[in-house]
């Protein structure tokens, strides 16, 4: 593995950890937060906003996943 590939993996891991932390802070359970965080096609802010405006957790999960 090249140094550039290793750096990309490290950065990607850090980004996913930060995303998961933000999702947990918003109210997603840890397992779901990690699942959503790993999906870069899911907009973090939209996922967080769903719960912030009162969307029930189960419905928010159905929407984003």
Spell out the domain ranges in the chain. 3-64
Residue 62 above 80 pLDDT?
Answer: yes
Span 16-50, pLDDT tens digits: 999 999 999 999 999 999 999 999 999 999 999 99
Please report, to the nearest 10 degrees, the dihedral formed by the alpha carbons of residues 59, 19, 31, 43 taken in order: 30
Q: Which residue has the higher pLDDT, 7 or 52?
A: 52
pLDDT at 10: 84
């Amino acid at each position: 593995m090249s140094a550039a590939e290793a750096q990309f993996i490290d950065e990607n891991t850090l980004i996913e950890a930060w995303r998961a932390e933000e999702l947990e802070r918003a109210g997603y359970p840890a397992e779901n937060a990690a699942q959503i965080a790993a999906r870069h096609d899911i907009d973090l802010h939209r996922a967080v906003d769903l719960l912030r405006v009162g969307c029930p957790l189960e419905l928010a999960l159905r929407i984003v996943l």
